[in-house]
Structure 1
């Protein structure tokens, strides 16, 4: 195992996602389903709009009667339709979103009409085509048409769409149960009493915050000392978790005990080490528990390494457990606003800032430097053994916002 070369990123992601089975579906009140993934295709229960509606403020007239003059005989407002009929030579005042009378054929804009004592005259151009300012019945969707495919997240716009289509509850996959265990003798939770040789325990909260965006049900254990029995005890408290994430202790030092602790605990090591920088010593393991399979991710302890590996592995697993159509982050292209040196033997993910057109790399790229991570909005993807890049060269970037998923 230790002699095997590190995996390529895409190979490691593929092997990890092959371990995932989507969690069961449940019906959830729609406002509680924000950012969760639809488990079954969602079909419209009604037609939208359910009647022909005016798209503008103006006057509704009948077919073949676009020149006037017209006698004003009533009004249709949004939520208050006109219930009578109109004939040639008649018009009704109509508001945006109001239903057209059955006999209405066109809406003439109010700025194209002159009114005088209830008599309307055309002072501008009639609509062309005649139904230009009408939203026809079923324009958006009709009953039983698919409005949201399975595997799509319920964004605010999709929540509005589902409600418009008649859904107050939606089928989504159960939220993954995630336990985060951070370990290390150097970690301090009391920030008022953090010795110079200690480090504030920030990785656990960071990982919980990343998972929160994907609606995981989370718990945190630790910090746990560098002791196999203590690590196994922490793992025992996570028996109900679908996924367990450890931070720290995944490398090969004398105090890196996650791998032997997992093996003693009964987990199987599926793979270890990925050829990326930062984040090489990531570990993936599985364990059968109560008729289901737990997935364990052993992330590095350096905070940026922990973040980058969570970005490329933890977030995709959480999406896949919820049946996401797209689980892994998607790259975009940008042009460099500065040159970059050649890359090394591992694929590198540099912290950087993208202004929508060009991207520049942060000066400080040490894997322990949280300041440059916090001030970045992208990861710049540098292939292994890439030559020096010049200003203006195109590079792939991964957006940090939303975990790289649009």
Structure 2
């Protein structure tokens, strides 16, 4: 059987991933959420001509070196202005304050001298650049953020400045994490010599939360079809992530258990390294299942490439991995027939170039290597040997 490449496998998964229902949330709850509808401005920003500096509001036609202007008022941020500047007049003004009617320029305070009830202008004069025009950032009814955009602090600031206090977003998906295997024990509990701690579960829960999901860690299931079926049918989720039991050994019972529940297998393996056993299925009720390898490093590589996009798709978003390029810091041998995602450390070299240092040992069981990695270096199938300095594609963590 010819396995699909990463892009093909992901496309098949996303084709069966429907956005969940929507909800309205306040800005304080919206960070990391995907917008379900556009955000439009409720008024101009700034809502008035405003000063960009502390100084003196003046009429441009009055500005000349040594001009003496009568002070007729003051404008401060947050205050209203109920007077007009006539020829030969000026007003004290502060950053962010509204310009008085009749004023069209600002002389910064360093370029003028106050003498009683008058201000004497210096040599530099006034600069219209010190005036922020009404609507200079955006205007009422301008679409500021489109549906499908993921919110972050910068975008939340934009929504807030437009007067928007709540936004319509896709619901956070419930992601149930099901580690399975008789060898697994939860961290912190007594363990036998022949067992291992469940390290992939906590890592994937944190990963899912960072992607905007509400993760639930289910107790590890035994290598028994009935136990796995019971765990699946008893859990409330939009996306089930099964960790381990994804290969074809006698004790890998996850896929047979799901087939017994009527699941349709969409992807069964991918031409990638690590993570070849990754799989994807759809339950009869439409809920989706992502199967990940049991090795934590393999599971996390697959999470970057598949889990993050699926969580986004459930919220109506369409993310792409954070791809970049870097120069290799070491030589690499030719690659085999599968995409190879190599754990690597990034640093900025002496010439300001981003350098990638792939770790020499890429065994998928090495959690310590994954913990030191800043990125994944992608080596395409059949890539020839690469020398230090060659540019390669890197994927930064979500």
1:317: which partner in 2?
310
1:13 aligns with 2:5: no
| Aligned counterparts, 1:249-288, within 5 A | 249-288=245-284
Structure 2: gaps of 5 or more residues: 349-353
Q: What secondary structure is seen at the aligned counterpart in 2 of 1:104?
A: coil
- Give the Cα separation in 1 of the matches to 2:392 and 2:193: 39
1:105: which partner in 2?
104
Q: What secondary structure is seen at the aligned counterpart in 1 of 2:287?
A: strand
Count how many residue pairs are aligned between Structure 1 and Structure 2. Answer: 391
1:298: which partner in 2?
291
- Give the Cα separation in 1 of the matches to 2:108 and 2:31: 39
Compute the TM-score of the two structures, normalised by the length of structure 1.
0.94
1:60: which partner in 2?
57
Instruction: Tell me by how many angstroms 1:192 deviates.
Output: 4.7
Q: What secondary structure is seen at the aligned counterpart in 1 of 2:104?
A: strand
| Aligned counterparts, 1:70-219, within 5 A | 70-127=69-126, 130-189=127-186, 191-219=188-216
Describe the superposition over 1:329-373 as per-residue Cα deviations: whole angstroms up to 9, x where unpaired.
Answer: 142111111111221221100011122511111233110111111
- Give the Cα separation in 2 of the matches to 1:332 and 1:190: 35
- Give the Cα separation in 2 of the matches to 1:191 and 1:169: 41
Indicate if the aligned counterparts of 1:81 and 1:101 stay in contact, CA closer than 8 A.
no
Describe the superposition over 1:94-148 as per-residue Cα deviations: whole angstroms up to 9, x where unpaired.
Answer: 1110110111110011111122233322223123xx4211110001111111010
Structure 1: gaps of 5 or more residues: none
Instruction: Tell me by how many angstroms 1:82 deviates.
Output: 3.2
| Aligned counterparts, 1:223-262, within 5 A | 223-238=220-235, 240-262=236-258
Compute the TM-score of the two structures, normalised by the length of structure 2.
0.95
- Give the Cα separation in 2 of the matches to 1:134 and 1:56: 8
Describe the superposition over 1:199-224 as per-residue Cα deviations: whole angstroms up to 9, x where unpaired.
Answer: 11111111110010122122111211
Instruction: Tell me by how many angstroms 1:172 deviates.
Output: 0.4
- Which of 357, 362, 381 is residue 360 of structure 1 equivalent to? 357
- Give the Cα separation in 2 of the matches to 1:303 and 1:211: 14
Instruction: Tell me by how many angstroms 1:59 deviates.
Output: 0.4
- Give the Cα separation in 1 of the matches to 2:194 and 2:333: 33
